[in-house]
Amino acid sequence: MLKTLLTATKMAASAAALAVATLATPAHAAAPAPANWPTKPIKFVVPYPAGGPLDTVARAIGERLRESLGQPIVVENKPGAGGNLGADYVAKQPADGYTIVMGAVATHAINPTLFARMPYDPVKDFAPITLVADVPNVLVMHPGKAAELHINTVRDLVEYARKHPGKLDYASGGNGSAGHLSGELFKSMARVSMVHIPYNGASPAQLSVLSGQTDLIFDNLASASANIKAGKLKAFAVTTPARAAAFPELPTIAEAGKGLGLEGFDISTWFGVLAPAGTPREIVERLNHDIVAILKTEDMKARLARIGAQPAPTTPEQFGALIQRELKKYGQVVKVSGAKVD
């Protein structure tokens, strides 16, 4: 069912492109932009704790934005409820260009189906500015377990799982996490049975695989890369449609899973900048222009590479269309997984 969904999603992309004007239209009428904007500091909300990947990137962008806009960019962390708390805060701020948010796949694509009640609408309450980057997830396994079971490729893994349903388990950072949904999509498309073992966060989930308590994990490439290079984790493939620049030798799951039902497999951790709905178009375009220029600098590319991320600047319309597509995709994946957060 999910394989059909992914095919339909790609077919819908062209239709979505025709609707970009609608997607970019805020829920409230946009106020005219002041000619001298900005005249005071801009608050850049990160809906996750300080020190994480989104926080690091937001601060790097803020440094350069201060130079181009001539005003301080104040990064403020507002974690909670899987990112919903910070995103909701921004959705309810004045649409004057002085508050923006680093939204993510969780806040704008996964959570709306995962949570029984949402305090904001991920489309109607925001004006997309630009996608910033995406971080591939990577399918990794405990090397001892892989050797014991003679699993060296994605094909080996699928064939073993089909012959031994329920014998393999996979860890994740919790119900509804990107790792959980990656596993559920993999199971559905490859028609295999594996047991999901949720942990309270990505770090303990990865530790469970490193210690041999669980067999495999669809981990964030940034956090898994050091252990892959050290031989502590055996990497099979990345979850994105294109190979990761940091590990070009690793195939994609779609590539490695040809003939196994995994064609079209696509899950990544993306994040981008949004403003409250109704933010004047001139301000959205100015922020888009400046942030896209920052993302194209060698310094920012290097900073993103250090956390395993790949720059992915877009127009506001392209980012809005992406959010629409991802909402549909993850909505179906969450429903199939049965994951819920009250």
The per-residue DSSP string of 257-321 comes to TTTTT-TT---EEEEEEEEETT--HHHHHHHHHHHHHHHTSHHHHHHHHHTT-EE----HHHHHH
> Can you tell me the mean pLDDT for 276-301?
97
Task: Choose between 286 and 53: higher pLDDT.
Answer: 286
> Can you tell me the mean pLDDT for 27-54?
81
In CATH, the number for domain 2-135+269-337 is 3.40.190.150
Confidence of residue 32 (pLDDT cuts 50, 70, 90): low
pLDDT at residue 69 greater than cutoff 80: yes
DSSP string, 191-233: T---EEEE-SSHHHHHHHHHTTSSSEEEEEHHHHHHHHHTTSS
pLDDT at residue 8 greater than cutoff 70: no
- Residue 337: Cβ within 10 Å count: 21
Radius of gyration (Cα) for the chain, nearest Å?
Answer: 20
Of 52-61, 131-140, 154-163, 332-341, where does mean pLDDT reach its minimum? 332-341
Q: What's the pLDDT score for residue 177?
A: 85
Q: What's the pLDDT score for residue 18?
A: 38
Q: Are 184 and 267 in contact, with CB atoms under 8 Å apart?
A: no
> Can you tell me the mean pLDDT for 94-110?
96
Among candidates 223, 256, 216, which has minimal Cα distance to 239? 256
> The pTM is what?
0.81
pLDDT at residue 232 greater than cutoff 90: yes
Three-point CA angle 66, 271, 264, nearest 5°: 150
pLDDT in tens, 295-307: 999 999 999 988 8
> Can you tell me the mean pLDDT for 198-207?
89
Q: What's the pLDDT score for residue 342?
A: 63
Three-point CA angle 256, 303, 315, nearest 5°: 75
Confidence of residue 19 (pLDDT cuts 50, 70, 90): very low
Locate the domains of the chain by residue range: 2-135+269-337, 136-256
> Can you tell me the mean pLDDT for 98-117?
95
Among candidates 26, 95, 86, 91, which has minimal Cα distance to 54? 86
pLDDT at residue 319 greater than cutoff 90: yes
Token pair for 231: 């031989």
Q: What's the pLDDT score for residue 84?
A: 95
Share above pLDDT 70 across residues of the chain, in percent, rounded to a whole number: 90
pLDDT at residue 61 greater than cutoff 80: yes
Q: By CB neighbour count within 10 A (0-12 exposed, 13-18 middle, 19+ buried), where does 250 fall?
A: buried
Q: Do the domains at 2-135+269-337 and 136-256 have one common CATH topology?
A: yes
Mean pLDDT over the full length of the chain:
89
Please give the Cα distance from 276 to 96 (Å, whole number). 8
> Can you tell me the mean pLDDT for 189-211?
93
Beta bridge partners of 73: 42
Q: What's the pLDDT score for residue 33?
A: 59
Q: Are 104 and 312 in contact, with CB atoms under 8 Å apart?
A: no
Element (H, E) at 134: strand 126-141
Among candidates 99, 175, 58, 85, which has minimal Cα distance to 184? 175
| Amino acid sitting at position 336 | V
Please give the Cα distance from 152 to 141 (Å, whole number). 10
pLDDT at residue 288 greater than cutoff 60: yes
Q: What's the pLDDT score for residue 246?
A: 83
> Can you tell me the mean pLDDT for 191-213?
93
CATH class for domain 136-256?
A: alpha beta
